Amino acid sequence: MTRRISKRKRFIMMNPIIQFFKFIYLSLKILVIVAGGHGGTREVQ
């Protein structure tokens, strides 16, 4: 096992308060990317 994630980073990753805000942020960001639409590619050509 090689430590590749620093203690500080791990704290941020697992802190419920920080992660709560991250959860909101991620949910919105993913919603925008995924529900943001899709379409064809050929017409663009």
Partner 1 sequence: MSRIVVLGAGISGHVAATHLRRKLSKEHTVTVVSPNSNYQWVPSNIWVGIGRMEPKDIIFPLEPLYKKKGIEFKQAKVVTFHPEGDTEIDKPFVKAEYVAGEAKGTTEKVTYDYLINATGPKLAFEMTEGLKPATHKAYSVCTYTHATEAWHALDQLIQQMKQGKKAKILIGTGHAKSTCQGAAFEYILNVEQELNRHGVRDMAELTWIANEPQLGDFGMDGMLLSYGSNIMKSSELVEMVFEDRGIKWIIGAGVNKIEEGVAHYETLDGEFHTETYDFAMLIPAFSGHGFKAYDKNDQDITEKLFRGFMIVDADYTPKPYEEWSVQDWPETYQNPSYANIFAPGIAFAPPHAISKPRVSKNGTPISPAPPRTGMPSGITAKLVADNIIDTIKKKKPSLHHKGSMGNMGAACIASSGYGITKGSGISITTFPIVPDFNKYPDTYGRKLGKTFGEIGLAGHWLKLALHHAFLYKAKMRPFWWLIPE
Is 13 a binding residue for partner 1 by CB under 8 A? The answer is: yes
Residue with tokens 């419920």: 16
Nearest-angstrom CA–CA distance, 11 and 8: 5
**Residues 10/18, Cβ–Cβ less than 8 Å:** no
Residue 11 structure tokens = 């704290």
CB of 10 to partner 1, least distance (A): 9
Is 45 a binding residue for partner 1 by CB under 8 A? The answer is: yes
Residue 33 structure tokens = 């990317």
CB of 17 to partner 1, least distance (A): 10
What does the binding site for partner 1 look like in residue numbers (CB under 8 A)? 1-5, 12-16, 19-20, 22-23, 26-27, 29-31, 33-36, 38-42, 44-45
